[in-house]
Amino acid sequence: MKVVHADAIPVTERVNRHRQGRFLERRLLEGEDGAIDNFQFTLVSTGGDFFSPRHRHNFDQFRFQIEGDAGFDRDGTMTQGTVGYFPEGTRYGPQSNKGDLTTLVLQFAGASGNGYMSEAQVSTASRELGQSGKFEGGVYYPNPGTGRKQQDGYEACWEHIARRKLEYPPERFHHPVFMNANAFAWNPLEGQAGAFEKVLGTFDEYGTGIRFVKLAAGASYKAKGRRLYYALGGAGSANAGAGGSGAWKKGDVLYTLVDEAHEIRASEAAEFYVILMPQFKAARLAKAA
């Protein structure tokens, strides 16, 4: 288990962006660059000038709206407390903020096996592509005479790094899935006194899903598998069979690996936003590679 203390991570402004508008981030946790199960978990603040055109990805994405309203045109609006699942291959947007907002964003390798291109790679690509074109409104416009056509900014960056055409996975969902977390009920966990779960859904054959966990003071929560926990409130400690441990508090992140049994204890009443990451086994990773 890895425990990440959010207050030790600086807030930075992302530069060389392929999207439009102010973008401040606290990059909470990242996977291994180039790995088939790579990911990035970020607390993002964007301004009312942020804009992203209608597009799709070859990776999965979860968003949890902490503050503000994010508009996605025909797909609807994510208000405070909404969890959004943006599946690989599914078009969404365009996105235009209704003022400033704060969002927890997880971008991660999905079931297709396409992996996830790191932010460092995207920044490198946008900087290099800027020498032969420009990014405007989330779209890349190559200079005349380059033999290229305009295309989505991220798509252009991906192809620049991969040196091949981006082939999108089949569309499993016709629209992104917006979930009102407040409309789901808490259920007590059998054999874990003082522990409750609110399950929002499971979305693929690798167990990718969303839930919330609530603990009374002095209670503990036991689970197993590859998960991300974001502490919405409370404080306590945690450990895992592999030896990882540490104290946690509001705003911190806990990350556990595939097949890793772990226990989270609350010294005061606590609540977690929990993402069940794809449970890719070694055989799955070898096949995808």
Identify any residues that bridge with 235 across adjacent strands, giving them in sequence order.
249, 268
pLDDT for 30 beyond 70: yes
Q: Is residue 245 part of a domain?
A: yes
**What's the domain range around 206?**
185-276
What pTM was computed for the model?
Answer: 0.88
Q: Is residue 253 part of a domain?
A: yes
Using CA atoms, how far apart are residues 258 and 278, in angstroms rounded to an integer?
Answer: 9
CATH number, domain containing residue 246: 2.60.120.10
Band (pLDDT 50/70/90 cuts) for residue 16 is: very low
Q: How many CB atoms lie within 10 A of CB 64?
A: 24
Band (pLDDT 50/70/90 cuts) for residue 287 is: very low
**Cβ neighbours of residue 274 under 8 Å, at least 6 residues apart?**
210, 211, 212, 213, 227, 228, 229, 230
Q: What is the model's pLDDT at position 19?
A: 65
- Residue 140 and residue 19 in contact, taking contact as beta carbons nearer than 8 Å: no
Q: Is residue 89 part of a domain?
A: no
Q: Is residue 212 part of a domain?
A: yes
Q: Is residue 268 part of a domain?
A: yes
Q: Is residue 224 part of a domain?
A: yes
pLDDT tens digit sequence for 104-128: 999 999 998 888 988 888 888 999 9
Q: What is the model's pLDDT at position 18?
A: 61
As for how many domains the chain has, the answer is 1
Average pLDDT over residues 17-30: 81
Q: Is residue 254 part of a domain?
A: yes
Q: Is residue 171 part of a domain?
A: no
Mean pLDDT over all residues of the chain? 90
Band (pLDDT 50/70/90 cuts) for residue 82 is: very high
